[in-house]
Amino acid sequence: MKQMRNTIKIVIFTFLIISIIGIDKLKAQDSCQVAVIEANRAFENGDYDKVILLVGKRINTCGYNKETKQQLYKILAASYSELDEIEKADQQTYKFIKKNPEYQTQSTDPDLFKKSLSNFYIRPRFAVGANFSIQKASNTILKQYQVLDYPGYNVKYSHKYYQIVDFTAQYYFSENFSLILDLGSTNIRTEKYVEYPDFYSLTYNESNFYAFVNVLFSYNLLKYKFASLSALTGTGNSILQPGTTNYTIGYSYANSGLNEIEGTLKNGRRELVPAYILGFSINIQFDRFTLKVQPRYSADLITRNLPEARYANPELNLYYYHIDDDYSLKHTELIIGASYNISYKVKHKYRKNYK
């Protein structure tokens, strides 16, 4: 019985404590909301000292939502400006900008807040994103090798790409000048069909997976409202991984009908291939997000060499071989991507190291 009484006392005591805490919390919430109403009324009546007294500390201690905090920073900055405390006004504006770097002034904003806002230089500092690319490639053949003792062939290659998705990081040195780093991987399949006089044909394909690193510089040429046009230039480096070279030889010998020989060579191109890149970027800004459309052109700076690869069939009476060409690739790309501004540079135009 005594134990039950003690349990009841503990429950009642706990309930009272929770009730007191809850009541205090409700009172604090009411106090925060009342302060907002009174601060706005005081600002309208020109009582700027009261505005500062009501919300100067509460703006950091009360759990105001984003819209309420924005309004309080505006009237605090304007109130300090009205009292000729310009540095304190700029401090409130700086805090506002750090939380709302993409803010666009509105007609309802206090004039002195707008004036304080104009004292700051704001630009993106670092952004990350992803690109989706559609590519078309062409070859420049730099050296041809004899095939089946028939040196007069000149057959074009065709290329097939897996779709490319790459990740990008962008660092802004200034409002107009930035450095872009693209990281990604893809697979390219190069094909060729060679038909010889009389009775031979060769179907050749080469498949390579490679990683690439693009280093680009971007310079803003034109800006209008939320749209801008930038020029791009830089270098790309493709790291070719061990690939495979496949072939099929069709032949008809001594009226024996069509025969086929298939083979795979695992000594494909393995090399680091640098290239130059030229292009431009159309950018559309939505708060922290930027949508980009980038036509680009790139071309290899070195030759893609294939180690000597002889295709032979001991069953044939004729000796033949094939060593694939040395060539360079040219790429035409259409890139569609998006980036997100992670951080911004906020700098006071007239004071150094301002916080």
Instruction: Sketch out the chain's domains with CATH numbers.
Output: 2-118 (1.25.40), 123-343 (2.40.160.20)
pLDDT value at residue 11:
46
H-state helical runs in the chain = 2-44, 48-55, 58-61, 66-82, 86-99, 111-117
Q: In this structure, which amino acid lies at residue 23? A: I
Radius of gyration of the chain from its Cα atoms, rounded to whole angstroms: 35
Average of per-residue pLDDT across 263-270 = 57
Average of per-residue pLDDT across 20-33 = 52
Confidence of residue 16 (pLDDT cuts 50, 70, 90): very low
Which of these ranges, 63-72, 188-197, 302-311, has the smallest mean pLDDT? 302-311
CB distance 247 to 200 below 8 Å: no
Paired residues of 192 in beta bridges: 204
Q: Classify the C-alpha dihedral 167-171-175-177 as positive or negative.
A: negative
Q: Which residue has the higher pLDDT, 306 or 107?
A: 107
DSSP letter at 304 equals B
pLDDT value at residue 199:
60
pLDDT digits (tens, 9 = 90+) for 79-98: 999 999 988 889 889 989 98
How far apart (Å, rounded) are the C-alpha atoms in residues 336 and 293?
A: 5
How many angstroms separate the Cα of 23 from the Cα of each of 34, 58, 204? 16, 19, 81
Q: Which residue has the higher pLDDT, 47 or 283?
A: 283
CB distance 59 to 69 below 8 Å: yes
Paired residues of 261 in beta bridges: 249
DSSP letter at 221 equals E
Confidence of residue 216 (pLDDT cuts 50, 70, 90): very high
For residue 151, which of 323, 308, 327 has the smallest C-alpha distance? 323
Residue with tokens 């071989």: 321
pLDDT value at residue 62:
80
Confidence of residue 318 (pLDDT cuts 50, 70, 90): very low
* Percentage of the chain lying above the pLDDT 70 cut: 70
Confidence of residue 209 (pLDDT cuts 50, 70, 90): confident
pLDDT digits (tens, 9 = 90+) for 128-141: 999 998 888 888 87
Query: How many of the other CB atoms lie within 10 Å of CB of 203?
Result: 16
What integer best gives the mean pLDDT of the chain? 77
Average of per-residue pLDDT across 260-267 = 56
pLDDT value at residue 306:
64
Whether 12 shows a pLDDT value over 70: the answer reads no
Whether 18 shows a pLDDT value over 50: the answer reads no
For residue 261, which of 306, 309, 203, 317 has the smallest C-alpha distance? 203
* Percentage of the chain lying above the pLDDT 90 cut: 21
Helix (H) or strand (E) holding 232: strand 227-240
CB distance 281 to 232 below 8 Å: yes
Confidence of residue 197 (pLDDT cuts 50, 70, 90): low
